[in-house]
Homo-oligomer: A and B are copies of this chain.
Amino acid sequence: MVPDYTTLIEPVKNRRTFEEVSDKLKELVFNGTLKPGQQLPSEQALARLFAVGRQSVREALRILELSGFIKTRAGTRGGAVIEGTMLSKMTGPFLDTFKFHKVSLEDCINARKAIEMSVLEFVIRSADDTDIENLRENLVRAKSRLASGNSAYEENIDFHRVLARASKNYTFCIVMESIMAVFADFKSRALDVRTEQSKKIIEGHEALVNAIAAKKKKLAIELLEKDLANAKMIVLVNSE
């Protein structure tokens, strides 16, 4: 009968100053005291308020910035502003972990397929008119991009983000956002997608949206499988 000291007893004061500061500010965001769009006091003012040095405040702000809580701007009327979403900053750590452990693109593609097939099930159950509209809006953006002679790679990645949102389960949004970041990064480094490929992908997306709108589950599953197979081929061919 050994009691569990490790969870009962915590370090009294091993925490560093900047950690106290960043945790305190995080808490103010979580409990709604600090709302998105709101301006934080200047670094000097924060240092006075917390009764710490400006260096500690700066290191705390770096943490909050990297975590996506705030963005900072220099100059008059500059400073730290609370962000409205943390989704985009989620992807950095995920991508770092991915690269650090040298995960293969193929593994990522395979896992992504499994997860997105689940997402689709949720989408067919829960998608409403607004979601269908958002998906169609993505198709319009992608097509206009294509019409101006560029590939629609970014828009076609975004399609899957919008799809995840239509599942009405934000957990999927976070996960898919992270995974799609891998493909976005891959494109920025290596990929030069042909416009014909983009066109084919968009056509597939269009058919998929129609199937979802019509609640044709079997067809939708089939179409998503085809789309992911297409995407897999494009990525793997270009990663040689």
Contacts and interface: CB of A to CB of B under 8 A. Distances in A.
Given A85-B101, A175-B175, A1 B108 contact: no
Given A26-B96, A93-B90, A115-B118, A107 B66 contact: no
Contacts of A1: 148-149
Nearest to A188: B7
B68 A97 contact: yes
A92 interface: yes
List the number of copies, as a whole number: 2
Contact of A97 (B90, B107, B172): B90
A111 interface: yes
Given A85-B101, A118-B118, A112 B59 contact: no
Given A62-B59, A66-B63, A67-B66, A171 B103 contact: yes
A175 B116 CA distance: 13
Contact of A67 (B30, B93, B108): B93
A94 B85 CA distance: 13
Interface band, chain A: 35 or more
Nearest to A89: B93
A240 interface: no
B18 A100 contact: no
A110 B59 contact: no
13 contacts: A3-B150, A7-B188, A58-B59, A59-B59, A67-B92, A92-B93, A98-B171, A101-B170, A101-B174, A114-B119, A114-B121, A171-B179, A174-B178
Given A62-B63, A103-B170, 5 more contacts: A1-B149, A4-B150, A63-B66, A67-B92, A108-B171
Interface of A: 1-4, 7, 18, 26, 29-30, 55, 58-59, 62-63, 66-69, 85-87, 89-90, 92-94, 96-101, 103, 107-108, 110-112, 114-115, 117-119, 121-122, 148-150, 169-172, 174-175, 178-179, 188
